[in-house]
Amino acid sequence: MKPVLLMDFGSTYTKVTAVDVDSETLLGTASSYTTVQTDIGEGLQNALNILEQKTGKLDFSERYACSSAAGGLRMITSGLVPELTAEAAKQASLGAGAKVIRVYSYELTKKDVAEIVSSHPDMLLLVGGTDGGNSECILANARKLSQVEPICPVVIAGNRNCADECEELLENWETHVCENVMPKFNELNIEPAQHEIRQIFLNRIIHAKGLSKAAELISGILMPTPAAMMAAMQLLAEGTKTESGIGELVAVDLGGATTDVYSIADGMPTQSNTIVKGLMEPYAKRTVEGDIGMRYSIWGIVDAAGIDRVSQLSGIAPERAKEMIQFLSENTETLPKDQEWENLDFALASLAVETAVARHAGTIEQVYTPMGLAYSQIGKDLTPVRRVVVTGGAIIHTKRTGEIASHSLQSPNQPGSLRPADAKFLVDRKYILAAMGLLGQYYPDTALRIMKKELAEATE
């Protein structure tokens, strides 16, 4: 037996997962509540004690961790045109597992710079212009930033022709120059920036957030938790050299404050005479809906879907539903206590999944041209995707998982939304996906086989 420990430091929970890489089995999982004030090592020790009560004493040969503690990796991005390089910068940051707190476009004002300083980001991503294209904007922004005291590392990933000049302007700042996120018009090149972001996270941010206290217990904190989740999904979809993956997929992580959606799919048009408009989207794409969550962002679900649909799905009268929702928004630790509350959570979870996946997926519309009917597609066409992976407390701790997950699919009410047409639902019952993303960095085959074994199929 060769046990490996995988840890996920969250802002409220520390989760631990033990795996035996020899027999490729999951030994156990446990979690412990942690507060911001308590030492991170304390939460970890509690979680380990709970784990060892289940599994018996384990002698771990390796320990790896991911973290979203202390707000996760908080980033601010600045680009030129909102739909183009500013969007590319946002995609790059989200894909690297960051929490994007603000996206700026065009030239920064003094007020913008003051806002950036006061929001204490962990990192800035500065982009703008294609290679050989616009340089005024990124240079003006670098100049504005150079007038204030450095606050965090800056990744410069804009027009390569002025990268040197940006670096010179920001000589007081810690700068990291990498390839342009959009070297040619509409050509997305976000991996180099993502790689740089992860490196900085590893080398610098972890220490700044006091996470290195637990370092002696850990072989390495590898990445922010969403990046581990993304790695797991990519591994599950693509497989390894020796073990095949399950193919293109969509994954939904329904949380209390936000809902994350991942798609590992090329998203190209499925019908002929379709013209793709807008920015080309990444093959591995992550979106975060900051206004969609089961507790802290509960009203965002109602705003997006309408109280009538909450009422219709839950069978609870609108007035009563509003009262209950108000209670939950104020008492965020509440779990459903009877059938009525379960019904409400079911309706909210369903609508959260529907809204978040609809925002993630592309859209298509019919265009009548003198040459006949054509289709105009914006974003990714996920209709051919046949696997939807779901995780998050409200989905996995209910009997109606399949029903909730089915709201990720195409519906007749929104024919223009390019969500999967039909899919199998895979449930992360034991909450192991981020851990498998970590394990996959060293034991990809093992992580993949454990995921295939542990993800349970849910039916409607």
Partner 1 sequence: MEKKTLVMGVIGADVHAVGNKILYHAFTAAGFNCVNLGVMVSQEEYINAAIESNADVIVVSSLYGHGELDCRGMREKCDEAGLKGILLYVGGNIVVGKQPFDEVEKRFKAMGFDRVFGPGTPPETTIAALYEDLGVQPPEETEE
The reply on whether position 81 binds partner 1 by CB under 8 A is yes
Closer CB to partner 1, 87 or 248, in the complex: 87
The reply on whether position 189 binds partner 1 by CB under 8 A is no
Choice from 58, 140, 202, 374 touching partner 1 (CB under 8 A): 374
Helix (H, G, I), strand (E, B) or coil at 351: helix
The reply on whether position 379 binds partner 1 by CB under 8 A is no
User: Going edge to edge, which strands form the sheet with 249-254?
Assistant: 284-289, 259-264, 249-254, 387-391, 424-427, 456-458
Choice from 208, 367, 421, 456 touching partner 1 (CB under 8 A): 367
The reply on whether position 277 binds partner 1 by CB under 8 A is yes
Stretch that binds partner 1, among 27-35, 46-54, 79-87, 350-358 (CB under 8 A): 79-87
* CA angle at 355 for the pair 289 and 260, rounded to the nearest 5°: 35
- The token pair at 105 is 């476009």
The reply on whether position 370 binds partner 1 by CB under 8 A is yes
Choice from 109, 203, 312, 369 touching partner 1 (CB under 8 A): 369
Closer CB to partner 1, 83 or 323, in the complex: 83
- DSSP letters, 227-280, are HHHHHHHHHHHHB-SSSB---SEEEEEE-SS-EEEEEES-----SSSEEEESSP
The reply on whether position 185 binds partner 1 by CB under 8 A is yes
The reply on whether position 133 binds partner 1 by CB under 8 A is yes
- Residue 132 φ/ψ region, left for φ over 0, alpha for ψ in the -120 to 50 degree band, beta for the rest: left
Nearest distance in Å: CB 147, partner 1:
23
By C-alpha distance, which of 83, 188, 55, 73 is closest to 120? 73
Element (H, E) at 347: helix 339-360
List helix spans (H) across 11-108. 40-55, 85-95
Are 289 and 259 in contact, with CB atoms under 8 Å apart?
yes
Choice from 3, 28, 129, 293 touching partner 1 (CB under 8 A): 129
Closer CB to partner 1, 247 or 278, in the complex: 278
Stretch that binds partner 1, among 226-234, 369-377, 385-393, 399-407 (CB under 8 A): 369-377
Query: Which residues of this protein are in contact with partner 1, per CB under 8 A?
Result: 80-81, 83-85, 128-130, 132-135, 182, 184-186, 273, 275, 277, 367-371, 374, 376
